[in-house]
């Protein structure tokens, strides 16, 4: 089961990155890890630095993927963003944003939803 979940998660993250790049985002980092956790994607849209949580589901039996980002998870990502910024200082950004990209593997094909400023 863990292997299936990992494969689904990687597929969703790959689709999320393709979606972001097609929308003009520059992906700066993927799966950045430290002791406290992981940030799925760090991307830049112009002068906005975006920390992106990707949630992928094989269906909607347990709700929309974005609903799985609890306030605890959002707080952890905010803290991780501070750690990422302490290690990386990309030039040219002036604002921060926290996004969620939700991916659903639907029978008619994948559905990707980008929630800008989700938390």
Q: What tens digit of pLDDT does each residue of 38-50 get?
A: 999 999 999 999 9
CA pseudo-torsion sign 110, 80, 4, 13: positive
pTM over 0.85: yes
Burial 63-81 (b: 16+ CB within 10 A, else e): eebbeebeeeeeebbeebb
Q: Each residue of 76-109: pLDDT tens digit?
A: 999 999 999 999 988 889 999 999 999 999 889 9
pLDDT on residue 49: 97
Could you give the domains of the chain? 2-115 (3.40.1350.10)
Q: Each residue of 44-68: pLDDT tens digit?
A: 999 999 999 999 998 888 889 999 9
Show the tokens assigned to 100. Answer: 């969620």
């Amino acid at each position: 089961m863990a292997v299936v979940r990992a494969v689904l998660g990687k597929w969703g993250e790959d689709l999320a990155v393709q979606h972001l790049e097609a929308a003009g985002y520059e992906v700066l980092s993927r799966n950045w890890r430290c002791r406290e956790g992981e940030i799925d994607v760090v991307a830049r849209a112009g002068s906005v630095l975006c920390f992106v949580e990707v949630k992928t589901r094989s269906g909607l039996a347990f709700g929309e993927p974005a609903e799985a980002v609890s306030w605890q998870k959002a707080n952890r990502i905010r803290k991780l963003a501070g750690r990422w910024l302490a290690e990386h200082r990309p030039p040219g950004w002036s604002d921060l944003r926290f996004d969620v990209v939700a991916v659903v593997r639907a029978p008619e094909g994948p559905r990707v939803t980008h929630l800008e400023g989700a938390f």
